[in-house]
Amino acid sequence: MFVKNAWYIAAMADEVGRTLKQRWILDEPVVMYRTADGKPVALYDVCPHRSMPLSKGELLGDQLRCGYHGLVFAPDGRCTHIPAQTHIAPSWCVKSYRLVEKWRWLWIWMGDPKSADESLIPDFHWNEDPDWIPTGGHFEIGCHYQLLVDNLLDLSHLAFVHRTTIGTDAVAENPATVSREGNAVRIVRSMPSCPAPPLYAKLIGYSGEIDRSQDIVFTPPSQVVITSRSVPKGSNEADKILEYRVLNGITPGTKSTCHHFWAVSRNCVPDPQVTKLFHEGSVRAFSEDVTVLETQQTMLDRMAGRIAWMHYNADGGGNAARVIVDKLLKREAAGATERAAMS
Ligand code: FES
Ligand SMILES: [Fe+2]
């Protein structure tokens, strides 16, 4: 079960062009491409004739031709050509999805198209802001998307999973405070007088202790923005501040896979070498998460129905996020039941 009436990142903007790209999103196969004038298109990737993935076909101008028997579909999903047949009933169509380019990502709306309000796209502007320097990427992970949300909302794991990059004991030993702001969850951790993690020493040359903080905001169903800020202990010198945002757009793939679209964006040390270090350090750290999350999913699959999780304080953010998502799922299910009753 996934929240459908929401914007999710479907792809990085430069991943989709004049070739057909398939991606599973919310347990549906989706084919994406761009029209000749650059407009992004997303269609259900199953031919209504005999279920050939349309992504195995080819583009004819702005239209897509199935690679099996040659049916042609327009960007809005209408079938425009059936070989050797003049009549095409309106029922010959595939679902088309709203796909919007914003902040250098393509955002998809999988639910009711009438509710697809672009103003609801999460504020990820730090990925396309002249004052910020971003770097980013995409992981496809073999785990349920909420395991990744849990992971990002409880950064105490940095001390154990990311010890060689961004983790120190201080992250686990300083408690975080959790608050609800409407449908958002905020998790704040302050770490005064702690050692600089190895990556920070490389990035900005910290030696000795630093004052560090993390401010995490979750917005449903699965977006997480982390603000990380560090300064040498007791200092407030502008050129010694290391501040960055970690933008996480998490998109369910299937029941046990998800897409992690991430960007790390900073407004300090504008050195391309630092961007390279940020990129490499982030890929390394997120790869460490992938190992943990896929191992966790394997255990959950094998132990299905035989596991009951225990909780402690650090789970407060992740648990609050799950409560909000459950509420949205119930609301969508009630709306679907209402619509069915009225039809
Ligand atoms: S399966 Fe697509 S045209 Fe037959
Ligand atoms: Fe992590």
Rounded (10°) CA dihedral 224, 108, 251, 288 = -80
Q: How many other C-beta atoms lie within 10 A of the C-beta of residue 185? A: 26
Torsion-angle region of residue 232: left (phi > 0), alpha (psi -120 to 50) or beta? Answer: beta
Instruction: Express as a percent the part of the chain with pLDDT over 90.
Output: 85
Note the pLDDT of residue 237: 81
Per-residue CA distances from 313 to 149, 178, 316, 318, 320 (Å): 16, 10, 6, 10, 12
From the list 92, 109, 116, the residue with the least C-alpha distance to 26 is 109
Q: For residue 271, how far is its CA from the centre of ligand 2 (angstroms)? A: 25
Reported as type and span, the H/E element at residue 332 is: helix 316-342
Note the pLDDT of residue 247: 98
Among the bound ligands, the one closest to the CA of 139: 2
pLDDT of 338 > 80? The answer is no
What backbone torsions phi and psi does residue 4 show, to the nearest 5 degrees?
-100, -30
Mutate which of 46, 66, 79 for ligand 1? The one with the most ligand atoms within 8 Å of its CB, which is 66
pLDDT tens for residues 256-270? 999 999 999 999 888
Tell me the pTM. Answer: 0.95
DSSP type of residue 87? -
SS3 286: helix
pLDDT of 340 > 80? The answer is no
Banded model confidence at residue 343, pLDDT cuts 50, 70, 90 = low
pLDDT of 71 > 90? The answer is yes
Per-residue CA distances from 274 to 68, 99, 207, 268 (Å): 49, 33, 17, 10
Q: Is any atom of ligand 1 closer than 6 Å to the C-beta of 82?
A: no
* Full strand arrangement of the beta sheet holding 63-65: 58-60, 63-65, 72-73, 79-81
Cis peptide bond N-terminal to 130, omega within 30: no
Q: Is any atom of ligand 1 closer than 6 Å to the C-beta of 64?
A: no
pLDDT of 316 > 90? The answer is yes
pLDDT tens for residues 175-209? 999 999 999 999 999 999 998 888 888 888 888 89
* CB 158, CB 166: distance < 8 Å: yes
* Amino acid making up residue 248: N
Note the pLDDT of residue 309: 96
pLDDT of 145 > 70? The answer is yes
Note the pLDDT of residue 137: 98
